Structure 1
């Protein structure tokens, strides 16, 4: 048998194993509300090839490819346990088992590692929490996709309605079409039908009522059977407490803003300061996409090396706020054609760092350049550290943070030498450290951080919503703090 034959036989064997994993992953998700992860990446509703590629990607961060033959025994062990709602990382189970020298079987080790999801101490399934989207633009539609995706177990968050201005004839059909097809993020994974008589979009069985209003104070959500809901404002029209409080209508319990909040509105970056949200806080902000991209790695560097000062330069994709062709705009430069120019503009991300990291005393400055790409941006974080270090040490630290720390859902790590912006479309992390571009000399470190400013940010928003709604389930094995 030739080498080629050996490779093909190995591939077919791994395909067969991945096929056998799909029903196990599906049953755990539907019947027990357990999300199976592989190094923080969900394997729920993934194809055979996607499962294999996710295993292969592990070599980018762990240094060696992870095989389905290594993770299958842990998945099989999970199916034999009476698990409560949780997220379980079989990649981490496999990695920590290798380092365990107690001679435990896979079943024994797995039961011990996920003990918090077993027995009397486990979390019981909760009633789904209603969610309303106020605005249905780029972020609103991506949030809808994520909320529909996460409704598969019948628990957690449930998208009940979207609120938009009535744009006239065919409005409902056009909005459903924009949800169904996206020029950047591709086709919606599932089926969408429109019930015009009841002003409803049905997506994968989820009935989403479309409410037409241009004034939040006129809507009574209880009239639509909505109660105790979390409303996500995607318009950015109101950013202070007084304006956002207009959403606190009958049926709405909390308001989450997908833009930087002003005044005393808490700016929350999941993974960094989400635990500071008080249970009785009804209005919060998820800050900006760029703030979410730079704050987690900034915290990781500050915790390990200390930061004296820093500057962030963002090279940002163009947005709807800019003009397609030259035309009047209230802001400087943004009136010039977005797809034809690089446009110098301002960013509030640097000043927002203080709200998310109040203990960081270092002065962080920032600026931004909008460039002619429709999605994915890069933040160049230039830091003066409190001590000298080496490039190898910094990369080892950030790789470990991306694998095992509480920031592993926020920070990803890639070593691919030819990575470009489009490779990160659909990334669920707040930012991705580009190892090849990282520069370190003495006490100066320059990090290049890719981020999907649409989808990655939307994932961060959903994490915040899950946290404040009480449906953020624990992850096992537990990460070190």
Structure 2
């Protein structure tokens, strides 16, 4: 029966009230227990009523049914009573498991059994943190700062302590804070920012960030600021090999270094979700590879595992960067001296070759090139692949859609099949890459895939995931279902 306009609005307002009541519970679980709640990977921390409603609506992409707030609200309230230890909890999957496997138990009885290793463990050794320093405060540095502040919670995990920059002017601190507060692409900072010019400190949502002025990575005494055993994230791109980056290790208080650019020589280039398991405690310097490598490698792995890749070409249509000139002027690189705001510029990319550092099985199988275009953010990778096993557009799209929802790569791969999406729709995406299903072209063993990616924010999310692994602050995830087995069973059902 069709609802009247008044009853439809009443229903919406009732759902709003339930979502509003969930916000303080979500916040307490995060601040007091270091528990991150999510719905199929969509974090609920520090989000609005409308976002929570959208996340419940999103759940129908996985379970075919919209997630009911009437079910998740009491689940959250029960979680808040269990004095849980640190964890990441998917309330959608937990709710589904309760409905399918509860066997007549009450909600509290089920949760106590399912989360037995967490119950009553609040505060038991889970408040450890790792000091983190951002060396450089440009496009990636400021987005990393936003993400780290968002994840600050009750002081667990990664703890942003300082940023290092070269002083640009007498009012440098004010300008740095202003750039953190306002962003032409990613919008305003969600929260409050204050500065202490006497101490060179920026305070953002209660997180004190010491601004250190230096042009020498080897001579900083971080311990003078109470920073010890720090992970330094070099996002300047100035040094890309072990010799240059090892300068950071000469400074007091530094334990490890992460580069936010492709590393040269023997440095490990890590694409989280692919080869992050190769990071060892003895690795002092690691690279998080490039934004393009992070965008295409998960999709290439999925396709190679299922269909086999014989060879391919990667063409990236990439937003311009600070490396280019706004108007024609001298530049060391070919063509990059021409106006970025007025031209499409053909340039080289090392992303195709870099894929093999994360996926050795694709060594020598890929070529690549790039075209810089006059947009400030969001890029597009076109993967033209020859396969060992033929497929169809529907088969490959169904496969990639299920990988984006159920597999171990669901934090890296997203899937979209809207006929109206354009590049700006992907600003702020937290996935490494988004497959545009409607653009897929398949002719038996010839496959063309279009993969969008926010080359700033999506990449920054990948960098944070690598940071968390290096620091050993990854939370255990619940419920403990085997997502790979789940994905394979779904794919088998699809034929």
Q: Does TM, scored on the shorter chain, surpass 0.5?
A: yes
- In the other structure, the counterpart of 1:243 is 244
Q: Secondary structure of 1:381's match? A: strand
Matched, 1:54 2:71: no
Q: Distance in 1 between matches of 2:66 and 2:418?
A: 14
Q: Distance in 1 between matches of 2:116 and 2:369?
A: 47
Distance 1:316 1:97, change over 3 A: farther
Residues 182-221 of structure 1 mapped to structure 2, 5 A cutoff: 182-221=183-222
Matched, 1:312 2:308: no
TM value normalised by structure 1: 0.95
Q: Do the aligned partners of 1:61 and 1:413 also contact (CA within 8 Å) in 2?
A: no
Matched, 1:26 2:27: yes
Distance 1:121 1:211, change over 3 A: closer
Gap regions ≥5 residues in structure 2: 485-495
Q: Distance in 2 between matches of 1:109 and 1:344?
A: 58
- In the other structure, the counterpart of 1:329 is 331
- CA displacement 1:24-58 (0-9 Å, x = unmatched): 10111011000011111110111101111222233
Q: Distance in 2 between matches of 1:99 and 1:433?
A: 32
Matched, 1:401 2:407: no
Q: Do the aligned partners of 1:18 and 1:52 also contact (CA within 8 Å) in 2?
A: yes
Q: Do the aligned partners of 1:135 and 1:164 also contact (CA within 8 Å) in 2?
A: yes
- In the other structure, the counterpart of 1:147 is 148
- In the other structure, the counterpart of 2:383 is 381
Report the alpha carbon displacement of residue 71 of structure 1 after superposing the two structures with TM. 2.8
Q: Secondary structure of 1:197's match? A: coil
Distance 1:382 1:281, change over 3 A: same
Q: Secondary structure of 2:366's match? A: strand
Gap regions ≥5 residues in structure 1: none
Q: Of the candidates 442, 466, 483, which is equivalent to residue 480 of structure 1?
A: 483
Q: Do the aligned partners of 2:353 and 2:364 also contact (CA within 8 Å) in 1?
A: no
Q: Of the candidates 391, 414, 417, which is equivalent to residue 412 of structure 1?
A: 414
Matched, 1:260 2:275: no
Q: Do the aligned partners of 1:406 and 1:480 also contact (CA within 8 Å) in 2?
A: yes
Distance 1:375 1:95, change over 3 A: farther
TM value normalised by structure 2: 0.92
Paired residues in the alignment total: 481
Q: Distance in 2 between matches of 1:103 and 1:330?
A: 70
Distance 1:123 1:354, change over 3 A: farther
Q: Distance in 2 between matches of 1:376 and 1:316?
A: 7
Distance 1:207 1:95, change over 3 A: same
Q: Secondary structure of 2:173's match? A: helix
Q: Do the aligned partners of 1:380 and 1:448 also contact (CA within 8 Å) in 2?
A: yes
Q: Do the aligned partners of 2:436 and 2:451 also contact (CA within 8 Å) in 1?
A: yes
Which of 119-128 and 46-55 deviates more?
A: 119-128
Distance 1:58 1:344, change over 3 A: farther
Distance 1:440 1:66, change over 3 A: farther
Q: Of the candidates 424, 427, 430, which is equivalent to residue 426 of structure 2?
A: 424
Report the alpha carbon displacement of residue 361 of structure 1 after superposing the two structures with TM. 4.9
Distance 1:328 1:157, change over 3 A: same
Q: Distance in 1 between matches of 2:417 and 2:124?
A: 37
- In the other structure, the counterpart of 1:433 is 435
Q: Distance in 1 between matches of 2:112 and 2:428?
A: 33
Q: How large is the RMSD of aligned CA atoms in angstroms?
A: 2.1
Q: Distance in 2 between matches of 1:202 and 1:189?
A: 13
